[in-house]
Amino acid sequence: MLKDIKDAVEQSLAIFRGLGVTLRHILRERRVTTQYPEQRPPQAFRYRGIHQLRLDENGKELCVGCNLCGLVCPAECIYVEGAETDNPEEERVTHYERFARVYILNSARCLYCGFCVEACPTDALAMTPQYELGEYHRRDCIYDKEDLIKNYLRWKDQAGYGIEWCHPEKLPEWTGHAEPLTPPSHAAPAIGEHRQ
Amino acid sequence: MTEWILFVVLSVIAIGSAVMMLVGRNPVHCALWLVLTFFCVAGFFLTLGAPFLAAVQIIVYTGAIMILFLFVVMLVNPEREGEPAVPASHRRAGLTLAAVLLVVMVGAITTRSGLGAIPTEPGGVTLRQVGTALLTEWMLPFELTSVLLLVAMIGAIVLARRRIE
Amino acid sequence: MVPTVAYLAVSAVLFTLGVVGVLVRRNALIIFMSIELMLNAVNVSLVSFARQHGHATGQVFVLLILAVAAAEVAVGLAIILSVFRHRDTVDVDHVNLMKW
Amino acid sequence: MEYVVMAAKAVVVFALVSGSMPFIVWAERKVMADAQARIGPNRVGPFGILQSFADALKLIFKEDVVPTGIDKRIFYLAPILSIIPALITFAVVPYGGPDLKLFGYPVGYVADLKDVGILYVFAVTTLGVYGIVLAGWASNNKYSLMGALRSSAQMISYEILLGLSIMGVVIGSGSLSLVEIVQAQATPYFGVIPGIWLFAQPLGFLIFLIASLAEANRVPFDLPEAESELVAGFHTEYSSFKFAMFFMAEYINLLTLSGVITTLFLGGWLGPGVDRFPILGVLYFSVKTVALVYFFIWLRATLPRLRYDQLMRFAWKVMLPAALINIFITAYWVAR
């Protein structure tokens, strides 16, 4: 009986302690919300967004339509049709006889693993940090070659987002607009860490 | 005049919803029609100068008793077996008996004189009077009710409890 | 002012409807509701008598009836529930054995 | 003329009560966000204050989904049954004293029901159960039905506590009229402490507070709609405007209960200087009510939901004896 009363009192006091905790948080100014469209979350250095098809310094396409990316893709979201041409070099879209006649990437199926980028023999394919990929129609999720080249043109001046993605030793000094993700100080301990 | 309008409207709704309760197939609908009747009865209490009883009527009847009914209807869920049709002879006999009862009651009411008299006190009975009567003149029945409620509570628990073997 | 006899008439009609319900319906729950209807009809006449005589006794009786009705509902619904558990029905025609 | 004044008061109170509901929702979201280190709504209007209106607009224009196999009439009736009691309870709550006059008419309350008063509040809040029970039953969904059954059991249990816990106040005030209950709190204790029932009836106040939380289905007693177990409880199948009606009823109930607690235990419109300037009474009443609403939101940010058996055990084994003890003490104190 006495113990019950003691428990009851303690538990009632616990409610007030809890109210104190919430009150402390209400009075404190700390806010963890990121105001998304105006404020961007810090992005990882190697963030894998939608792809780009790179051009070389002369404006020629690097892709030769070998379909290695399509073969390695686990989601089978890349379709490449290679072709050859007899045109003289200045009329070709690449430096070689081979080029990609069709290059289609379905961003709705892609799982952004980056295998295609690793597989590319000419470093033509790379990823960009772009993550706002929402569309109103599924057909708009199909990216053709022009779209992917547009992605390159859009991101080429952002140093660090090019082919360096798969060659870390070539990484230049960070100058991008976003900062590398730093784990917040209050983050949960990694698995096993608390056992020490 | 206003009182007559109110009275007629309340009577029509009360009797109409009571009839709806009788002919309804679905017990939940029946319960809701009955709730409407109870509301009208509370309205009668108001027009009769007993607002306290009207409030208690709503609290006890619609708030507790009918909710209990709904609770049991939902537990029992009698929808899965339609109520078997009552034989016509049976129904005829029941209606005849009820009609005889109604005739007797109406006859009794109308043959008595003096029931149409207007009460001298328009204020009617005050709550204080009711409370005083309840705790002086009717003290024993009042206390017995509490015993009755206790017995009912124990009985309900004993009856509704699942047998633990 | 509506005379007492009018209230008594309505009360009589409601009471009769309750009797009809008890006599012609076979669902135990509906029969029970009809009984509640009868109690209410009686309450109306009691309150109208209380007004006519300017005396509190009628209202006191209504309060007592309310308490009795509450007790009755508690026990009655418990009985219906336990009948339903044993017989899987609330049709009173199927509950015709004294013992099962 | 008297009826015209009454109707006008009723319309004004109705408009104010239902009009303040969007701001309570907004306040709740803001306070909850504060407690959780978030920002809360801040897009629609300054500080997001118009967020509720945007939500209402969205709910009205959303598709009204009607599930198959339902009892259609009751399905449509239930939200209406839920919102009407919520709206009409406020009619008896006095937000100003009888001295508060406008053009010679007392405007402090819509109706002062002498012999009924607080019983009217109970009678009407009881009816709120119907909306929930019928919604759950008519939805033809087992989660809804579970929510409905839980809520009916919960509300019946806590209604008893609600009634018993104010018996102390009623005995002490000697009246059921809410206006007279407030007036009974006017004399201060020992000449200094405000004479509100909170100090004379701390146990009654606590029980009433907890029971009213349960009656309004607020956290930590929001069992009928326990998201984590019952999807959304009784309103799982409701969408569009019918859902909005349940939502409105919930928040208007919160406001009404705060008003009732203010009246019963916190002295209603009473406050310093109110006898000289009766208009101050409205201000005092509003401040106390809003403070209570804030407290309820704060509680929601703090407490987890109770388990169902805990809820029932708490009602019958802890609160009921406490309420009875409170009545005995008060009766002794009054009869002394």
State the maximum Cα–Cα separation within chain D, in Å, rounded to a whole number: 65
pLDDT in the model for residue B147? 92
Cβ distance of B55 and D123 shorter than 8 Å: yes
pLDDT in the model for residue B37? 92
pLDDT in the model for residue B3? 81
How many domains does chain C fold into?
A: 1
Residue in chain C closest to B30 (alpha carbons) equals C30
Q: How confident is the model at residue C55 (pLDDT cuts 50, 70, 90)?
A: confident
pLDDT in the model for residue A189? 37
Q: Tell me which of D39, D210, D302 to substitute to probe the interface with A (most A C-beta atoms closer than 10 Å).
A: D302
Strands D105-106 and A125-127 turn out to be: unpaired
pLDDT in the model for residue A72? 92
Q: What is the CATH number of the domain that holds C22?
A: 1.10.287.3510
Q: Smallest Cβ distance to B63: which of D71, D116, D123?
A: D123
Residue C93 in domain: no
- Please determine, for residue A181, whether its predicted confidence score (pLDDT) is greater than 70: no
H or E segment at A143?
Answer: strand A142-143
H or E segment at D101?
Answer: strand D101-102
Residue in chain B closest to D148 (alpha carbons) equals B71
Helix boundaries (H) for chain D: 2-35, 51-61, 72-88, 118-138, 142-165, 167-173, 178-183, 197-200, 202-215, 227-230, 240-265, 280-302, 308-313, 320-335
* Higher pLDDT among residues D219 and A189, named by residue: D219
What is the mean predicted confidence (pLDDT) over A137-148? 86
Tokens (6 digits) for D197: 């029932």
Cβ distance of B65 and C36 shorter than 8 Å: yes
Q: Which residues of chain B have pLDDT under 70?
A: 77-86, 112-124, 162-165
pLDDT in tens, A123-136: 888 887 777 788 88
pLDDT in tens, A13-53: 888 898 888 888 888 877 788 777 777 777 666 677 888 88
Cβ distance of A26 and D39 shorter than 8 Å: no
**Domain positions in chain A:** 51-181
* Higher pLDDT among residues A181 and C4, named by residue: C4
What is the mean predicted confidence (pLDDT) over C61-79? 89
The per-residue b/e assignment along D219-231, b for 16 or more CB within 10 angstroms, e otherwise, is bbbbbbbbeeebb
Q: Which of A97-106, C65-74, D268-277 has the lowest mean pLDDT?
A: D268-277
Q: Rounded distance, CA D327 to CA B15, Å?
A: 41
- Please determine, for residue A176, whether its predicted confidence score (pLDDT) is greater than 50: no
**End-to-end C-alpha distance for chain C, whole angstroms:** 56
Q: Smallest Cβ distance to B67: which of D119, D122, D133?
A: D133
Q: Rounded distance, CA C29 to CA C26, Å?
A: 9
Q: What is the ipTM of this complex?
A: 0.76
Strands A125-127 and A51-53 turn out to be: antiparallel
pLDDT in the model for residue D318? 85
Pick from D219, D255, D250: nearest CA to D234? D250
Q: Give chain B as a 3 state SS string.
A: CHHHHHHHHHHHHHHHHHHHHHHCCCHHHHHHHHHHHHHHHHHHHHHCCCHHHHHHHHHHHHHHHHHHHHHHHHHHCHHHCCCCCCCHHHHHHHHHHHHHHHHHHHHHHHHCCCCCCCCCCCCCCCHHHHHHHHHCCCHHHHHHHHHHHHHHHHHHHHHHCCCCC
Helix boundaries (H) for chain C: 4-24, 28-53, 57-87
Amino acid symbol at A96: Y
DSSP A56-120: -TTS-B------HHHHH-TT--EEEEEEE--S-GGGSSSSSSEEEEEEEEETTT-----HHHHH-
What is the mean predicted confidence (pLDDT) over C7-36? 88
In percent, the amount of chain A with pLDDT more than 70 equals: 77
The per-residue b/e assignment along D300-319, b for 16 or more CB within 10 angstroms, e otherwise, is bbbbebbeeeebbebbeeeb
Q: Which residues pair with D201 in a beta bridge?
A: none
User: In this structure, are residues C29 and C9 in contact, taking their beta carbons and an 8 Å threshold?
Assistant: no
Q: Rounded distance, CA A77 to CA A126, Å?
A: 15
Mean pLDDT of chain D: 83
Q: Which of A56-65, B59-68, D108-117, D274-283 has the lowest mean pLDDT?
A: D108-117
Tokens 């007036």 map to which residue? D183
User: In this structure, are residues A158 and A177 in contact, taking their beta carbons and an 8 Å threshold?
Assistant: yes
How far, in Å, are A34, B30, C15, D258 from residue D113 at the CA level? 53, 32, 31, 20
User: B-chain residues within 8 Å CB-CB of D76?
Assistant: none
pLDDT in the model for residue B16? 92
Q: Rounded distance, CA D28 to CA D34, Å?
A: 10
B58 touches chain D (CB under 8 A): yes
Total residue length of chain D? 336
Burial class (CB in 10 A: 0-12, 13-18, 19+), C12: buried
Strands D101-102 and A98-106 turn out to be: unpaired
Residue C82 in domain: yes
Q: Smallest Cβ distance to D31: which of A19, A26, A32?
A: A26
CA distance B86 to chain D (A): 25
pLDDT in the model for residue D253? 87
pLDDT in the model for residue A194? 36
If DSSP codes are grouped into helix, strand and coil, which group holds residue D226?
Answer: coil
The per-residue b/e assignment along B15-36, b for 16 or more CB within 10 angstroms, e otherwise, is bebbbbbbebeebbbbbbbbbb
Q: Rounded distance, CA D45 to CA D30, Å?
A: 14
What is the mean predicted confidence (pLDDT) over A91-98? 82
Q: How confident is the model at residue C43 (pLDDT cuts 50, 70, 90)?
A: very high
Q: Which of A80-94, B7-21, D17-31, D287-301 has the lowest mean pLDDT?
A: A80-94
Q: How confident is the model at residue D228 (pLDDT cuts 50, 70, 90)?
A: low
- Please determine, for residue A114, whether its predicted confidence score (pLDDT) is greater than 70: yes
Residue C98 in domain: no
Residue in chain B closest to D174 (alpha carbons) equals B128
pLDDT in the model for residue A167? 52
User: D-chain residues within 8 Å CB-CB of A28?
Assistant: 37
Q: Smallest Cβ distance to D116: which of B32, B55, B68?
A: B55
In percent, the amount of chain D with pLDDT more than 70 equals: 95
Residue C46 in domain: yes
pLDDT in tens, D182-198: 888 877 777 777 777 77
Q: Rounded distance, CA C28 to CA B78, Å?
A: 10
pLDDT in the model for residue D185? 81
- Assess whether chains B and D touch, using the rule of 3 or more C-beta pairs within 8 angstroms: yes
pLDDT in the model for residue D279? 79
pLDDT in tens, D294-316: 998 888 888 888 888 888 888 88
- Please determine, for residue D28, whether its predicted confidence score (pLDDT) is greater than 70: yes
| Chain A: partners with 3+ C-beta pairs within 8 Å | D
User: In this structure, are residues D49 and D26 in contact, taking their beta carbons and an 8 Å threshold?
Assistant: yes
The class that CATH gives domain A51-181 is alpha beta
Specify the DSSP class assigned to residue D310.
H
Angle at A155 between CA A153 and CA A156, to 5 degrees: 65
Q: Smallest Cβ distance to B86: which of C26, C80, C89?
A: C26
pLDDT in the model for residue B46? 86
Mean pLDDT of chain A: 76
pLDDT in tens, D161-180: 888 888 888 888 888 888 88
pLDDT in the model for residue A184? 35
Q: What is the pTM of this model?
A: 0.79
pLDDT in the model for residue B85? 66
Strand extents, DSSP E, A21-63: 51-53
Residue C49 in domain: yes
pLDDT in the model for residue B116? 57
Q: What range defines the domain where residue C20 resides? A: 4-87
What is the mean predicted confidence (pLDDT) over C25-51? 88
